Chain A
Amino acid sequence: MTLFQLTLKNLRRRRTRTLLTIMGIGLGIGAVVALLGLAWGLEDSWSDAYKARKTDLVVRRSAGGLIAQPFSEEITTRVRKVPGVAAAAGLLTEVLSIEKVPMMVVSGREWGSFLWDTLKVVEGRLPKDASERGVVLGTLAAEMLEKKPGDKLGLEIDEFEVLGIVDGGAVVENGSVIVALPILQEMVLKEGDINFVNVRLNDHDADPHTVAKLIEKQAPGCRVDIASEVLSQNDGVKTFQAMNWGTSIIAILVGAFGVMNTMFMSVFERTREIGILLALGWKRSRILRMILLESVSLCLAAGIVGVLAGLVMLKILEFMPWMQGRIEPAVSWQLISLALGLAVAVGLGSGLYPALHCTRINPSLAIRQL
C-alpha cells in the first residue's frame, strides 16, 4: 500500500461527492479549454490566412478596435516604394449581413494585386476586370450562402452575380466574399479608402521589423505588424481575450471553492482518523501531503474531464453557423497541458487550507470523538 493508494481509497468512499466536485471544477476547466481554444483559434485562423495570402506585413490605422478604421488608398503607393517591399496590396474589409447569414467578411481587394493570385478557382471564374459587377465566394462562404456560380447575391441594396468559387487555402479566406476593391468602395460609400495594406517582402534581404519601421515612417497614423502577430496586437482582440480570461477565472474560482469545501468536509469527517494516523506515528508533514495529494488527484481527474468537455464544446461550436468560416478552434498539446497544469494548481491551492487545518489536530482530542 502506498500513500497514493490510500488517497484513492479516501476519494472513493464518497463517490457521489467526489464526482460532483469533479464536475464542478471540471466545468471550469472545460470553460478555459473552450474559450482559449476559440481565442487561440481566432489568432491561428488569421495567421493562417495571411500565410495563405503570402503576406508578411500588415498596415492599418493605429487607432480603432476590432473594426479597422479606413485610410486613403494612396498609402499603398507609398508603401510600394519602401526598400525591402516586394509587393503591396490595398484591401477594404467589411463585415456585412448578407441574405440570411448575419455576419460575413467581405473583402475588397486591389485589382491585379498578389491577393488575387493565391485564390484557386474551384468552380466558375474570377472577375474579368476591376469593374465587372460580380463576386467570388470562398468555398465555406458558398456553402453558408448556398450559392453556386451564376446565382444572384444580394449585397446591401445591390444584386451581384456569383462569378466563381475559390479556395484561398485558409478558413478565413474560404469564409469570405471577395470582390474587386472599387466595387466594395462604391457599395459602402468609402470611395478611395482602404483599411489594410498587405505587404509582401523581398525574400532574402528584408528584415520584417526594419521594413515595418520604414513603412511606419512613410505612412503617418498607421501601424505595421508582422502578419502572424496582427491579431494578438489588436486592441479589440486583446479585450476579447481579457473577457475570456475573466469568465474562465470566475468559473475556475467557483470550482476551486467547491474543491475546498469538499476537502474541508472530507477532513472534518475524518478528524478521528487523522488523529489515529497521528497516534500511529504519522508526521504532520505526511498528513499534509496526503490531503494535498487527495485534492490534486481530485482536480487532475477534473482536469481530464474538463479537457474532454472543452473539446466537445469546441466541436459543437465549430459546427455553429456563426462560427463557420471565421474561426477554426485551436486544440493543441499546449492548451491541454495548460488546462491540466491549471487543474494541479487549483488542487494545491484549494487543498492547502484544509491540509494545514489537519496538521493542527490534537490527536488525543480527535481520537475521543464519537
Chain B
Amino acid sequence: MLPKLAVPANRLPLMPDAPADPPRSEVVFSLQDVRREFDDGHVLALRGVNLEIRAGEFVAIIGGSGSGKSTLLSLLGALDTPSSGSIRFQGKEMSEMPDLGEFRARHVGFVFQSFLLLPTLTALENVQVPMFELGWSRAERQRRAGELLQAVGMEHRLDHMPDKLSGGERQRVAIARSLANEPDILLADEPTGNLDSQNSVQIMDLLCRVQREKNTTMILVTHDPSIARLADRVITMKDGQVIADQPADRMAPSSAGSIS
C-alpha cells in the first residue's frame, strides 16, 4: 500500500495567497531555447521553449492539437532529444548524460493516453516491466507489483491480459506501472483522453493522490481545462512555443467539464 503522507503545507486547499512566495524547492528541469524539428526542418514542433520546473510541482500543459505538448513531454522524459537548446535535469545537461535509459529507469514514470500496456503480459507482469533494471529479485518484483496494483484498486485483476480490461482499468494498471520504479518525475500525456468522464475523475484522483503522497514532480498534458485546474501551475502552448505560464487559480474560468 502507498503510505499515507501528510499533505504539504503549501498545498492546503484553503490557504490564502498560496502562490505568494512559498518556500521554493530545487529546480528539476530547466529548459533554454529548446527546439525540435522534424523532417529536415520542415516541421518545427518546438520553436524555442524556456521553462523551469521545480521539485514536487504539479504542472499541467494545455494547448491546441499539434502545439508541441507531446513533443515537449518526450524531451523531458528523454524519449527524444532536442534539435538544439539545452535541457538540464537537476543542473546536469541531459545531452551529456552517458545513459538516458538509466535516467528513465531511475527517475521517470510515464502514463500515456493510449495506455501502452504490453499485450502479451498480464496486469501483474506489465507492472513488473520497469523493475527489470533496478536489480530487484524476481520475488521482490512480483510482490511490489502486487502492492502497486492493490494501491490503484486492481488487486482483483492481477492475471488479466490487457485486452480483457476496460479502458479505466487499463489506465489504472498503467499508472501502477508508472510508479513501479518509484519515480521522482511523473509524465502523463492526456491520461484521461480515452476515458469517459467518470473514469477520468477516478484516474485524476488517483494521479493527484500519488503526486501529493510522494511529492512527485508531475507534468501532465491535457486538453481539458477542468483537469488543468487541478494543477499548481498551467503552461499554455501554441505553435511550439509557451504562450502562458501561470498558477492554476489564475486561469480563466471555463464551462468545460465539471471535474472535481
Identify the A interface with B (CB < 8 A): 1-3, 6, 9-10, 12-13, 272-273, 275-284, 286, 362-365, 367
Contact = CB atoms under 8 A, between A and B. Distances in A.
* Nearest 9 interchain pairs by C-beta: A281-B105, A364-B80, A364-B79, A364-B74, A280-B130, A281-B104, A283-B101, A363-B79, A9-B120
B108 A281 contact: yes
B67 interface: no
Interface of B (DSSP majority class): helix
B130 A281 contact: yes
A273 B118 contact: yes
Interface stretch (B6-14, B121-129, B163-171, B210-218): B121-129
11 contacts: A13-B120, A275-B79, A276-B116, A279-B79, A280-B104, A281-B101, A282-B133, A283-B99, A283-B102, A364-B79, A364-B80
Contacts of A13: 120
Given A276-B116, A286-B133, A1 B121 contact: yes
Contact of A3 (B104, B112, B132): B132
B254 to A, nearest CB: 29
Contact of B105 (A2, A272, A276, A283): A283
Nearest to A2: B138
Nearest to A13: B120
B58 interface: no
Nearest to B36: A364
B122 to A, nearest CB: 9
B104 A279 contact: yes
Contacts of B132: 3, 282, 286
Given A9-B121, A281-B181, A282-B132, A367 B116 contact: yes
Contacts of B120: 9-10, 12-13
Contact of A279 (B106, B110, B119, B128): B110
B199 to A, nearest CB: 22
Contact of B80 (A3, A282, A362): A362
A366 to B, nearest CB: 9
Interface string B84-123: 0000000000000001011011101010100010111100
Contact of B177 (A6, A280, A363): A280
Residue of A10, A13, A367 with highest tally of chain B CB at under 10 A: A367
Nearest to B183: A281
A107 to B, nearest CB: 64
A1 B138 contact: yes
B191 to A, nearest CB: 14
A281 B107 CA distance: 9
**B interface, size bucket:** 20 to 34
A277 B133 CA distance: 11
B99 A279 contact: no
Contact of A281 (B125, B133, B142): B133
Contacts of A364: 74, 79-80
Nearest to B122: A1
B141 interface: yes
A2 B128 CA distance: 10
Contacts of A363: 79-80
A235 B74 CA distance: 66
Given A362-B80, A364-B80, A367-B112, A278 B121 contact: no
A281 B106 CA distance: 8
A279 B35 CA distance: 21
Contacts of B63: none
Contacts of B79: 275, 278-279, 362-364, 367
Nearest to A1: B125
Interface string B72-83: 001001011000
A176 to B, nearest CB: 61
Contacts of A365: 80
Nearest to A273: B118
B129 to A, nearest CB: 5
Contacts of B138: 1-2
Contacts of A279: 77, 79, 104, 110, 116
A12 B177 CA distance: 24
A282 B101 contact: yes
A280 B110 contact: yes
Nearest to B133: A281
Contacts of A3: 132
Contacts of B141: 1
B34 to A, nearest CB: 14
Contacts of B112: 367
B125 A276 contact: no
A9 B118 CA distance: 11
A267 B35 CA distance: 31
Nearest to B124: A1
